[in-house]
Amino acid sequence: MPALKKTSRTKARAHGGRPPLGDEARQRILDATAAVFLERGFASASTSDIAQRAHTSKQTLYQLFPTKADLFVGVIGGYTNSLFDRHVEFVESGNSPRETLNEMGSMMLGLFADPTFLALYRILVAEAHRFPDLAQRLWFDCMERGYGLLGNYLRSHKLGGPSYRKTARKFISFVLGDFVVNSMLNPDTTLSPRVLRARVSEAVDDFLDLYSQTQQKGRR
């Protein structure tokens, strides 16, 4: 799982309370959380099991993640933030939209090609009806946030629109296509990095072809 950003101990002390755990300790908790969820599912997993697996106290666990839902969101966020955290870099980059969209698309598809992320996603889908608040929170924290950031990038390059958020959703559907469903139903199927890159490249080409034609029609 991608490492999380460092937090300033000095800043934390200025606001009172204990200094936050270091990146290594925080990552240990998230790794333990993922392992317990994968073994027991969301409903059967307990914070006691997670604290024991992470070699930490429940008090420390609750300080970082007050609820079990917070733990699940923290684990998923460890993956999605690796993409979201690069938003400013993507917007300010001098690379062409084709290059940047290929990189974004590869990171998106790479999430669902990661066995651990995909297994966690299966847990979410399987238990969403029992824990709708968790599903809704992940939708807003991950999908809706992703649509917004991608929409901002597309707006900065005047690609798509007038609803850039809608255009962002279309780009993601171009990239993911039926890949997620196939991966969910055929968990033993693996694709090489070369095949994944080719799939993303084709999706980006189709997306750019569609919107370049749309823009040309709009200028007539």
Nearest to 50 by CA among 26, 78, 79: 26
Give per-10-residue mean pLDDT for the chain (220 aa). 41 41 82 96 94 93 92 93 94 95 96 92 92 93 94 94 93 93 82 92 95 55
CA 2 to chain centre: 11
Q: Are residues 61 and 76 in the same domain?
A: no
Q: How far apart are CA 82 and CA 99, in angstroms?
A: 18
pLDDT of residue 155: 95
Q: What is the pLDDT of residue 3?
A: 45
The CA radius of gyration of the chain, in Å to the nearest whole number, is 20
3 occurs within a structural domain: no
- pLDDT value of position 211: 87
Together in a domain, 168 and 89: yes
pLDDT at position 121 is: 93
Residues 101 and 31 in one domain: no
Q: What is the pLDDT of residue 214?
A: 52
**Which CATH number goes with the domain that contains 34?**
1.10.10.60
Whether the Cβ atoms of residue 79 and residue 114 lie closer than 8 Å to each other? yes
pTM above 0.85, yes or no: no
Cα–Cα nearest to 107, from 135, 87, 133: 87
Q: Which of 66, 81, 110 is the last residue of a domain?
A: 66
Mention every residue, 6+ apart, whose C-beta is less than 8 A from residue 56. 25, 28, 29
The answer to whether 36 and 45 have CB atoms below 8 angstroms apart is yes
Task: Count CA atoms within 13 Å of residue 199 on its CB side.
Answer: 21
Q: Are residues 98 and 170 in the same domain?
A: yes
Q: Strand, helix or coil at 32?
A: helix
Please state, as a whole number, how many other Cβ atoms lie within 10 Å of the Cβ of residue 37: 22
Cβ within 8 Å of residue 220, ≥6 positions away: none
